[in-house]
Amino acid sequence: MMIVAGVLVFRTPLQRQIRERGIFANDGPDPGLVEQLIEDAVDPRSALLAVWNTGKLVHREVAIRSLARVMRAGQALPPELESLVLTGALDPDVNVRESALDILSQCNHPALVALAAEQLKDMDQQVRLLGLNQLKRATAAEGVPTVIPLLADADPLIITLTLKLLENWTGESFGVKLLEIGLPENQKSGLMEYRAGSYEKARDGAARAKAWWVLHRGEYPQVPLQVPTAAWSMRRPVLPGDFQLRDLGGNRTRLSDFRGKVVLINFWTTWCPACMSEIPDLVALENEHVTNLVILGVSLDCAPDGHGYFGSYASVEDQRNGGGDHDGRETKTVPLKEIREKVARSVKARGINYAILLDERNEVGGQFNGGELPTTVIVDAGGKVRRRFLGARRLAVFEAMVAEASQPTPAAQAVAFGQSAHTP
């Protein structure tokens, strides 16, 4: 009886330990399992840190989201988690950055304004928008000199939001309304598109703001915004697990085959309009970087839909040819051969000149959180993740990111990932 009792006492801890080891070792676990691991832990904070310290994309994103859910407005960050959030605000993964900045905002953390200002230096428009949104909490003394350089930004939405912040801080009006710029994103293409005249209106408003700045500059001396040392010093490399997939010809390709080159991994599907919209830019990028860049287009057409069916969405090409639409899918699983043929048709129709791989079991998509489309991951020559982001991007932004990933990460981690706030 005592032996049986001992087995019962230790079974649950042993099972939990085995489960935890499996989740930690898995590069692409179900995020729900990772969340459950943290929630069920005797010490959730320690478990959260352990999950974060795996350095794996899925684990880190779940860890920061879990922390965001339990933080209350005005609540101070626990000391053991503060450095995690500070470094998260400068993370290669834009999702992690956003969650970290939201946590700092909820906590009224004194480093929020400085870390938001760091985002404004980034080459990615979406990251600059992230920073502008968080600068709403800045004082006029902090904010006005910080955003003035964005009046030279190439994007009308960035300029317009900058003007709105300046108006809030100064009480001045610079004559530009957000409604005049129009919707900042085409819902089908996923790309930033504006109404005719938006650029001219934004530039006119920027010119008025610059003229105002010449007269009032002395009223807003630059307030030093110091990013905490821990935000830089505690950063650690994010290492993607290796993977192996077959191309459309059946040949095996491994991520590690390309060590020594920058690798851009683009997760897409044939039925995703936003994915289709950025393919011409990726084709152009491939043409311009023959020797120093590898582009891997990973098709997730085999990933199950919300009903568990595989390959049931018609491609954009098939929709145009009367072959159904995204909402009118067939409620069945399509054979792998037919999915491969559908992908091949899109490759031919779009003139794709870079490698296309088929993620038949959604293993790699799960590893890189590629379920939201398009998702792009940029890995440098040393095998470290330098960028991960959702949504379509333009060629100029891709070029800037490839150039960034081609440079070594500063040894002292003293320079942000972004290099310029004025990339078109």
Does residue 334 have a pLDDT over 90? no
For the segment 48-70, the average pLDDT, to the nearest whole number, is 92
Does residue 409 have a pLDDT over 80? no
286 CB-near residues (< 8 Å, 6+ apart): 293, 295, 353, 354
For the segment 328-344, the average pLDDT, to the nearest whole number, is 81
Give the chain's domains with CATH numbers: 2-219 (1.25.10), 244-405 (3.40.30.10)
Q: What is the DSSP string of 296-361?
A: EEEE-TTSB-TTS-BS-SPPHHHHHTTS--STT--SSPPPHHHHHHHHHHHHHHHT--SEEEE-TT
What is the side-by-side strand order in the sheet with 244-247?
A: 252-254, 244-247, 355-358, 293-299, 262-268, 375-379, 385-390
Find, among 393, 377, 387, the residue nearest to 409 by Cα. 387
For the segment 251-255, the average pLDDT, to the nearest whole number, is 96
What is residue 412's DSSP assignment? T
Does residue 4 have a pLDDT over 90? no
Model confidence at 420, in pLDDT bands (50, 70, 90)? very low
For the segment 27-34, the average pLDDT, to the nearest whole number, is 92
Q: pLDDT of 213-236, one tens digit each?
A: 999 999 999 889 999 999 998 888
Does residue 261 have a pLDDT over 50? yes
Supply the pLDDT for residue 419: 37
For the segment 274-301, the average pLDDT, to the nearest whole number, is 95
Supply the pLDDT for residue 178: 82
Does residue 180 have a pLDDT over 70? yes
pTM: 0.88
Does residue 89 have a pLDDT over 60? yes
Does residue 398 have a pLDDT over 90? yes
Q: pLDDT of 91-138, one tens digit each?
A: 999 999 999 999 999 999 999 999 999 999 999 999 999 999 999 999
Supply the pLDDT for residue 322: 63
Cis peptide before 374 (omega within 30 of 0): yes
Does residue 417 have a pLDDT over 50? no
Model confidence at 422, in pLDDT bands (50, 70, 90)? very low
Lowest mean pLDDT among 1-5, 66-70, 152-156: 1-5
| Rg (the chain; Cα; Å) | 24
Q: Between residues 189 and 415, which one has the greater pLDDT?
A: 189
